[in-house]
């Protein structure tokens, strides 16, 4: 049962992290085909962290690689750590290593957050300007936003009880970390996430089980559980879980 007053998302429990990644790859491919068939670019905000790495690797090999029109796919970051792009903590580095380089997708074609900028606020302003160049003056509407969830219920770099949760006008904002790596972040804000046509959470591992049960089955507590605030106003919301993460979910 979803928290009261929240619409129930689609929840899919996969046997393990690999079948979760395969399911996500099929969804990515299908959504790409819809956008391309309609003659539009396929705009994707990529998740950071570890979980999506397997999905990204799957997208670089058959059957998915050749089923996706990469020439019409525009890649963005959902959030970034304020570190150099070759840092072990960089989401861009993880994405470059697992997706861009194996695909031969020109790294400079991904619209990244310049985490190397010593001023995170300036990096957030610059990213919002890059988004405006891609989406125009109206709030970005991504065809697909990929998100992970931390064991504290955070998503992107929207951490519990942080000011960034309450941002309702800016599209990207500097955000304090709430979990390791304890480096400043830049993140898309909730208005952008909730303007997406499709949001897909990828959550695997037993360490997420308690937070996941609270987010999906517990009472509404969005300040403590930022992932609860991801409720696309005019889009789909799907949670792809592995069995380990779903162990504490009510039936």
Residues that bind ligand 6PG (CB under 6 A): 47-51, 78-79, 91, 148-150, 154-157
Instruction: Please give the C-alpha separations between residue 251 and each of 87, 203, 242, 247, in angstroms, as whole numbers.
Output: 41, 17, 15, 10
Nearer to ligand 6PG, 63 or 181 (CB): 181
| Smallest distance, ligand 6PG to C-beta of residue 147, A | 6
Rounded CA separation 121/188 (Å): 13
Q: For residue 138, say if its preceding peptide bond is cis, omega within 30 degrees of 0.
A: no
Nearer to ligand 6PG, 27 or 81 (CB): 81
| Smallest distance, ligand 6PG to C-beta of residue 181, A | 8
The Cβ of residue 40 has, within 10 Å, a number of other Cβ atoms equal to 11
Nearer to ligand 6PG, 33 or 57 (CB): 57
Which 3 state secondary structure label does DSSP give 110? coil
| Smallest distance, ligand 6PG to C-beta of residue 66, A | 27
Rounded CA separation 80/188 (Å): 9
Rounded CA separation 124/80 (Å): 10
| Smallest distance, ligand 6PG to C-beta of residue 77, A | 9
Nearer to ligand 6PG, 157 or 228 (CB): 157
| Smallest distance, ligand 6PG to C-beta of residue 39, A | 31
Q: Can you say whether the dihedral through the CA atoms of 110, 42, 189, 244 is positive or negative?
A: negative
| Smallest distance, ligand 6PG to C-beta of residue 155, A | 5
Which 3 state secondary structure label does DSSP give 65? helix
What is the separation, in whole angstroms, between the first and last Cα of the chain? 8
Rounded CA separation 213/52 (Å): 21
């Amino acid at each position: 049962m979803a928290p009261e007053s929240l619409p129930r998302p689609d929840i899919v429990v996969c046997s393990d992290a690999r079948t979760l990644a395969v399911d996500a790859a099929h969804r990515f491919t299908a959504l790409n085909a819809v956008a391309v068939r309609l003659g539009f670019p396929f705009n994707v905000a990529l998740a950071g962290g570890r979980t999506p790495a397997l999905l990204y690797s799957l997208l670089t090999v058959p059957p998915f690689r050749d089923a996706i029109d990469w020439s019409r796919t525009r890649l963005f970051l959902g959030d970034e750590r304020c570190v150099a792009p070759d840092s072990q903590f960089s989401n861009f580095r993880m994405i470059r290593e697992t997706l861009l380089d194996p695909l031969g997708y020109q790294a400079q074609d991904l619209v990244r957050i310049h985490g190397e900028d010593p001023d995170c606020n300036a990096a957030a302003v610059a990213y919002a300007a890059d988004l405006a160049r891609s989406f125009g003056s109206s709030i970005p509407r991504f065809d697909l936003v990929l998100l992970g969830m931390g064991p504290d219920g955070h998503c992107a770099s929207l951490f519990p009880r942080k000011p960034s949760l309450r941002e309702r006008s800016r599209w990207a904002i500097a955000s304090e970390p709430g979990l390791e790596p304890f480096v400043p972040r830049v993140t898309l804000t909730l208005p952008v996430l909730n303007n997406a046509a499709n949001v897909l959470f990828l959550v695997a591992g037993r360490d997420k089980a308690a937070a996941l049960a609270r987010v999906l089955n517990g009472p509404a507590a969005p300040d403590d559980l930022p992932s609860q605030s991801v409720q696309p106003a005019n889009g789909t919301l799907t949670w792809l879980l592995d069995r380990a993460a779903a162990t504490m979910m009510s039936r």
